[in-house]
Amino acid sequence: MTRIALLDDWQRVARTSADWSPLIARADVSFFEMPFTDEDDAARHLAEFEIILVTRERTPFPSTLVARLPKLRMFGLTGARAGLIDIAGMISRGITVCHTGGGPSVSSTAELALGLMLAAARQISAGDVAVRDGRFQVGTQAGSLLDGKTIGLIGLGRIGARMAAYCRALGMKVLAWSQNLTAEAAAAAGAVRTEKDELFSTADAVSLHLVLSDRTRGIVGAADLARMKPGAILVNTARAPLVDENALVAAVQSRRIFAALDVFYREPLSPDHPFARAPNVVLTPHLGYSVIEVYREYYQHSVENALAFLDGKPIRVLQSAGN
């Protein structure tokens, strides 16, 4: 039987999010519920599989790993973008690469960005710990109000525009910037287009909503973080490499700003990482798309894609890394 690996089911939701029985009847399906320790570990576990189905970009698939998977014939990813996966290299090797729909991930990611901003502003994580420790308010700090404050959005696409609407509902002034953003497009989303330097120096919270690319990698650097107001909040639910990690570590260790992060350079985040030890950082384990409504579409489409490939009629096939 064809061997199929479903990777990255760290929340153990794949089996209940779709009907796998038609696929299990025709193939040997293995579910991997823990991350690999490194590329060698991934290569050892995956060398015998002909179909690999992954969840977003939890496991990197650089060209060096793909070259060590001689039996791989089909690769399925959830969504259609994957910065940590060598899609072009797979296609050049004759591997069929299929994608899924994204489900309501625009809403789920924007909702999480809002939640992280609120958690940082009101010290919600610390308050939760205090109550569980029996201290109640003792040892907690007063938070800050968001009504009347300014949010700066780096990127005003679908997720950024949804975040703009949420922030306006809180009574916040909304500023926005990206390299191609026009004043008219910003106004249509209820925001004011401003220059990047002004946004960082003016906003009480900055939220990132850009696609990671060569042009946007490291787009937030030490100079940008230095412009932020003392006590301002940086929210990142997009991609970690948008921000210079060393600069962000230095900024939070200085206690000048708060950070609210859902994405990291290496996932899972090590408990020894400076972010994990900083009291002015709110952390979530890459939950932006991780809602059951999104998982249902991801995994049902993954099953359909694998079945269609076994039938010799692949669907949702990517023709290039950008399509």
Is-catalytic flag, 209? no
Q: Can you give the pLDDT at residue 320?
A: 78
Q: State how far the alpha carbon of 90 is from the alpha carbons of 55, 212, 263, 299, 320, in Å.
A: 17, 20, 25, 21, 10
Residues 6 or more apart in contact with residue 29 via CB below 8 angstroms:
4, 5, 6, 20, 23
Report strand pairing: 150-154 vs 205-208: parallel
Is-catalytic flag, 286? yes
CA–CA distance, 312 with 309 (Å, rounded to integer): 5
Q: Hey, what long-range contacts does 123-129 have (CB within 8 A, 24 or more apart)?
A: 124/282, 125/282, 126/279
Active-site residue, from 193, 239, 301, 304: 239
DSSP 135: -
DSSP 98: E
Q: Can you give the pLDDT at residue 82?
A: 83
């060209």: which residue's tokens?
Answer: 63
Question: What angle, 0 to 180 degrees and rounded to 10, lies between the N-to-C axes of helices 105-122 and 124-132?
Answer: 70
Digit-by-digit pLDDT tens for the chain (323 residues) are 999 999 999 999 999 999 999 999 999 999 999 999 999 999 999 999 999 999 987 999 999 999 999 999 999 999 888 888 999 999 999 999 999 999 999 999 999 999 999 999 999 999 999 999 999 999 999 999 999 999 999 999 999 999 999 999 999 999 999 999 999 999 999 999 999 999 999 999 999 999 999 999 999 999 999 999 999 999 999 999 999 999 999 999 999 999 999 999 999 999 999 999 999 999 999 999 999 999 999 999 999 999 999 999 999 999 876 66
Q: Can you give the pLDDT at residue 105?
A: 96
Active-site residue, from 50, 57, 111, 267: 267
Active-site residue, from 286, 297, 301, 304: 286
The secondary structure of 191-250 as a DSSP string is -EE--HHHHHHH-SEEEE-----TTTTT-B-HHHHHHSPTT-EEEE-S-GGGB-HHHHHH
247 and 222 Cβ atoms separated by less than 8 Å: yes
Burial class (CB in 10 A: 0-12, 13-18, 19+), 312: exposed
Is-catalytic flag, 111? no
